Amino acid sequence: MNVLLDTNIVLDYILAREPHYEASSGAIKAALEREYTLFVSANCVTDIFYIAKRHGIGIKNIREQLEIMLSFMDIIGVTKSDILKTLFFPTWTDIRTA
């Protein structure tokens, strides 16, 4: 199974952000134990770098964390076609109010 991780899940994991670190860490560990293929979007990596830097994490540390992360995750690109398809996906709000 393929699993696409949201930027915030990865940030919670890398930055050990509370109160969500335990949940994000557990999700990543569970996916790895089940041998799922983990993905992040290409822009997730740049967002992580930018946000971690703003949180006062040094560039060397950010690079090390990204290197570790990318040792068990793959990067996927997001195309215009992908974005247009997702515009018509029902959101959780749409499902609850339908």
- What's the mean pLDDT when you consider all of the chain? 85
pLDDT at 20: 93
The answer for residues whose C-beta is within 8 angstroms of residue 63's C-beta and 6 or more apart is none
d(CA 23, CA 18): 10
Q: Are 73 and 40 in contact (CB under 8 A)?
A: yes
pLDDT at 94: 52
Residues 2-97: name the CATH superfamily: 5'-nuclease (3.40.50.1010)
pLDDT tens sequence across 13-33: 988 999 999 999 988 888 888
pLDDT at 1: 83
Provide φ and ψ at 37, rounded to 5°. -90, 120
What mean pLDDT do residues 42-49 have?
A: 91
What mean pLDDT do residues 59-64 have?
A: 92
Q: Give the pTM.
A: 0.71
